[in-house]
Homo-oligomer: A and B are copies of this chain.
Amino acid sequence: MEPSKAVCLLSGGVDSATALAIAKAEGFVPYALSFDYGQRHRIELEAARRVAAAAGVRDHLVLTIDLRAMGGSALTADLAVPKDRPAAEMGRGIPITYVPARNTVFLAFALGWAEVLGAWDLFVGVNAVDYSGYPDCRPEFARAFETLANLATKAGVEGRGRFRVHTPLIELTKAEIIRRGLALGVDYGLTHSCYDPDASGAACGRCDSCAIRLGGFAAAGARDPVRYVAEAGGA
C-alpha cells in the first residue's frame, strides 16, 4: 500500500514547521501549502520555501490570495503592529493582528487541494495554549472544520474515506513544541516568526510573535538561531 498523502499548512513559522515534521514522522507523504495573502511580513514566504525544501516535501504550492482587499487586520492593512505588550495582556482578548477568517480560508484551500491529490489528512500547526487569542486556533474550530470537510466534498460525500484535521500542537506550550521539533531535527534557523522584521530580515524581538517565540526558546532551554535586531531580547 502506498503511504498516505497529507496537506500541511506551512507559514514558515515555528509551529507549522514543527507540524510538518510531525506529519512526516507519522509516515505521511507531505504536501506543503502556503499563502501569499498580502501579509506585511512576506519574508515568511521565503522561510516557508526553506522549510519545505529542508523537509523534502513532495510538492509546495504557494497560492496568492488577496485578503488585503477585505481590510481589517494589522497583518494586512496599514495598522501598527503592537510592540512590547505585557505577557498577561497577550493572553487576553483578540489582538489587532487577527486576520478575519484566515484559518477558515486556508483550510478551505487545503481541503480543495487534498481532494485533488487524493489526500484525507490536513495538518495545521494551530495551538490553543500560546494561541495569541485567535479564535480559529481552538480545538472546537478544528472539529467543526472536519465536519464541514466531509459534507463539502465529493470525496467526503462518496464515503471513500474521512477527512481529518490534525492539530498535533494544539495542547502543547511553545516550549514543548520547540523541544518536539528539535527532537525531530527541525532547523528553526530556517523559520521566521516576526510580524515586523527590519529591512535585512532581522526579527524585531518586540511584537507578540517574537515575544512568544523568545519565551518558548527560553523555557525550552534552547537557543533561538534566528537573527534579531541588535537591541532586541534575542541578541
Contact = CB atoms under 8 A, between A and B. Distances in A.
Number of copies: 2
B111 A101 contact: yes
Contacts of A103: 152
A88 interface: no
A71 B116 contact: yes
A104 B102 CA distance: 13
Given A69-B61, A70-B61, A105-B109, A135 B116 contact: no
A200 interface: no
A163 to B, nearest CB: 10
Which DSSP category, helix, strand, loop or mixed, fits chain A's interface? helix
Interface in A103-134: 103-105, 107-109, 111-113, 115-116
Contact of A109 (B101, B156, B157): B101
Interface stretch (A9-17, A142-150, A208-216, A219-227): A142-150
A135 B152 contact: yes
Size band of the A side of the interface?
35 or more
Contacts of A26: none
Interface in A32-76: 61, 63-67, 69-72
28 contacts: A61-B70, A63-B66, A63-B69, A64-B65, A64-B66, A70-B109, A72-B112, A101-B108, A101-B109, A101-B152, A101-B153, A104-B112, A104-B149, A105-B109, A105-B112, A108-B108, A135-B152, A136-B151, A138-B151, A141-B148, A144-B144, A144-B147, A144-B151, A144-B152, A145-B148, A145-B152, A147-B147, A148-B148
- 9 closest Cβ contacts across the A-B interface? A101-B112, A72-B116, A100-B112, A100-B115, A135-B157, A104-B108, A105-B108, A144-B148, A108-B108
